[in-house]
């Protein structure tokens, strides 16, 4: 698949690593493709950065891996994303990581859908640490990644991208399930930073035999 990732930070770089290894064509959408920070981030991956609109228009899948506060501007810089599959990895975190800016009766993903008119929005890759997204991790059980979105035809591709990043991909239903998946990310952060687990862990799903 052709994938544009908006944001070459922790999440964007990890997913690019996994998806390039899986044979996908990945390009970054960056507000300053020539900046030393972007060059340093993508140089070691051997990938290209383009202005966001160019990266998005050349791709079937657009991935949002920007800070929540920059997400609307990043989307606006892409122009129309109508008909594209848009995977939202963001979490609407408060600046001090103490909680979410919104939730329970809406979600960041639903805001994203309202900003990206006509895009097929999925929530995914928000529920675990970025270092768990680069593929090839050796956990005793496969880490789980939930996928939520409303556009049935695009769902298999998003589930496959989660598998390609090393996860057990689980369909969590409509985009409103992001109201559950964003607090799940908050739980991961809480356990990592406030309960002593650190970042070297992941959630897995197990079934009764
Ligand atoms: N870190 C994690 O473990 C983790 C896990 C799951 C989900 N998340 C979520 O994923 C998102 C990204 O997290 P991160 O840790 O990868 O962040 P990060 O390392 O700070 O990277 C953010 C990237 O977004 C870019 N960016 C900022 N404004 C932009 C714009 N208007 N247009 C295009 N790109 C823009 C930044 O580039 P420049 O500033 O150089 O332009 C940078 O490359 C956040 O919403 C976070 O809550 C993070």
- Tens digit of each residue's pLDDT, the chain (209 residues): 999 999 999 999 999 999 999 999 999 999 999 999 888 888 889 999 999 999 999 999 999 999 999 999 999 999 999 999 999 999 999 999 899 999 899 999 999 999 999 999 999 999 999 999 999 788 999 999 999 999 999 999 999 999 999 999 999 999 999 999 999 999 999 999 999 999 999 999 999 99
Considering the domain boundaries, does residue 131 fall inside one?
yes
pLDDT recorded at residue 80: 97
Interatomic CA distance for residues 60 and 62, integer angstroms = 7
Q: Which atom of ligand 1 is nearest to the CA of 68?
A: 45
Considering the domain boundaries, does residue 39 fall inside one?
yes
Beta strands in 8-84 (DSSP E): 25-29, 48-50, 61-64
The tally of domains found in the chain comes to 1
Considering the domain boundaries, does residue 205 fall inside one?
no
Contact in structure between 2 and 58 (CB atoms under 8 Å)? yes
CATH for 8: 3.40.50.720
Please tell me the residue having the least CA distance from ligand 1 atom 17. 9
Interatomic CA distance for residues 58 and 128, integer angstroms = 28
Beta strands in the chain (DSSP E): 2-6, 25-29, 48-50, 61-64, 85-88, 120-123, 144-149, 168-171
67 CA from centroid of ligand 1 (Å): 4
Considering the domain boundaries, does residue 19 fall inside one?
yes
Interatomic CA distance for residues 150 and 4, integer angstroms = 21
By most ligand atoms within 8 Å of CB, the mutation choice from 15, 26, 50, 66 for ligand 1 is: 66
Contact in structure between 120 and 85 (CB atoms under 8 Å)? yes
Determine the structural domain holding residue 174 and report its residue range: 2-193
pTM above 0.95, yes or no: yes
Beta strands in 73-186 (DSSP E): 85-88, 120-123, 144-149, 168-171
């Amino acid at each position: 698949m052709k994938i544009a990732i908006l944001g070459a930070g922790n999440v964007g770089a990890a997913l690019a690593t996994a998806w390039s290894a899986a044979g996908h064509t990945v390009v970054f959408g960056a507000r300053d493709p020539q900046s030393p920070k972007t060059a340093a981030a993508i140089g070691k991956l051997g990938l290209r950065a383009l202005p966001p609109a160019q990266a998005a228009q050349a791709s079937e899948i657009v991935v949002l891996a920007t800070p929540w506060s920059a997400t609307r501007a990043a989307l606006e810089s892409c122009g129309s994303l109508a008909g594209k599959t848009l995977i939202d990895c963001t979490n609407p975190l408060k600046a001090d990581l103490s909680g979410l800016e919104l939730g329970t009766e809406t979600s960041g993903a639903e805001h994203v859908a309202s900003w990206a008119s006509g895009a097929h929005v999925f929530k995914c890759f928000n529920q675990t640490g970025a270092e768990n997204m680069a593929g090839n991790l050796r956990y005793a059980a496969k880490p789980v990644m939930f996928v939520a979105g409303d556009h049935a035809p695009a769902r298999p591709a998003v589930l496959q991208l989660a598998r390609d990043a090393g996860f057990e991909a689980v369909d969590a239903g409509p985009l409103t399930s992001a109201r559950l998946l964003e607090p799940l990310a908050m739980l991961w952060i809480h356990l990592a930073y406030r309960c002593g687990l650190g970042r070297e862990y992941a959630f897995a799903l197990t079934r009764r035999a």
